[in-house]
């Protein structure tokens, strides 16, 4: 299931790259959430995935929980911001 999900996401990114470069919400709902589900996370269950919950470090787009403990934070960005960051990082 994960392989198929990743293939579908890669296909979407290839077809709609310029759209994803401008739209973080689309990246979240159409790329990140399907991948989380493919990895076995139930994005519909708050005991597993909590979007936009405040932490001491800020407000991550996703907090992933196991046994009521936050184990991973995910910060989504539109692809344009990510590509700008990567380009800046590579030229330092």
Give per-10-residue mean pLDDT for the chain (92 aa): 91 92 92 94 97 89 94 84 47 46
* pLDDT at position 92: 46
31 C-beta neighbours (distance < 10 Å), count:
20
Residues 51/65, Cβ–Cβ less than 8 Å: no
Residues 6+ apart with CB under 8 A from 21: 78, 79, 80, 83
* pLDDT at position 42: 98
Residues 63/73, Cβ–Cβ less than 8 Å: yes
* pLDDT at position 56: 85
Number of domains in the chain: 1
pTM: 0.81
* pLDDT at position 64: 94
Domain with 10, as residue range(s), is 2-90
Q: Tell me the residue length of the chain.
A: 92
Query: By C-alpha distance, which of 34, 23, 35, 36 is closest to 63?
Result: 36
* pLDDT at position 81: 60
* pLDDT at position 28: 94
């Amino acid at each position: 299931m994960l392989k198929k999900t990743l293939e579908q996401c890669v296909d979407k990114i290839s077809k709609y790259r310029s759209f994803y470069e401008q739209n973080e919400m689309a990246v979240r709902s159409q790329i990140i959430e399907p991948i989380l589900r493919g990895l076995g996370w139930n994005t519909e269950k708050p005991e597993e995935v909590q979007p936009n919950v405040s932490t001491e470090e800020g407000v991550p787009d996703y907090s992933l929980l196991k046994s009521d403990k936050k184990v991973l934070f995910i910060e989504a960005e539109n692809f344009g911001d990510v590509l700008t960051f990567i380009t800046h990082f590579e030229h330092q």
